[in-house]
Amino acid sequence: MTIPTGSGSEVLRRNSIYNQDITATQIDWAQAIQTAAGNSSGTVAVPANVIITILTVFFANRSGGSEWVDMSVVNSGASGIRFLVEHTLADTQTFVWNDKFVLRENDKLQFDASGNDMDIHLSYIYQDWT
């Protein structure tokens, strides 16, 4: 992807996963409100001429016991880069990831957890030059 020039749009968006479980979930960028847990279809790869800047990711463990969560970026033909590796949250604990990172064409943002009571909410900037 070349560096975009000319007109485009820049929009603040959000997405979430309710009840993330032991099946990896890839964010569907076409679903502006919520991605279903276990999703691996739809617009999961960042489209051409789009840059996504992740601002904040909230993780909430609603279970009565501790659970862990993973967050990684997968690119076509490459192994995933794990940003968060089995990060453990105690029962009813929340964790906030507020380090910004950028996703480019073909990147996929993926989450996994050790149980089915993990809620994930993310806010991001969607820049579109298509």
- Give residue 115's pLDDT: 87
According to DSSP, the residues that pair with 57 across neighbouring strands are 97, 122
| pLDDT, block means (10 residues), the chain with 130 residues | 69 94 94 88 94 97 93 82 94 96 95 93 94
Superfamily of domain 9-128: Nucleoplasmin core domain (2.60.120.340)
* Domain extent listing, the chain: 9-128
Write the CB contacts of 35 (distance below 8 Å, at least 6 apart in sequence).
15, 16, 17, 25, 26, 27, 28, 42
Q: How far apart are CA 69 and CA 1, in angstroms?
A: 31
Asked if residues 94 and 60 have their Cβ atoms less than 8 Å apart, the reply is yes
Structure tokens at 6: 């000319």
- Give residue 113's pLDDT: 95
- Give residue 4's pLDDT: 59
According to DSSP, the residues that pair with 82 across neighbouring strands are 72
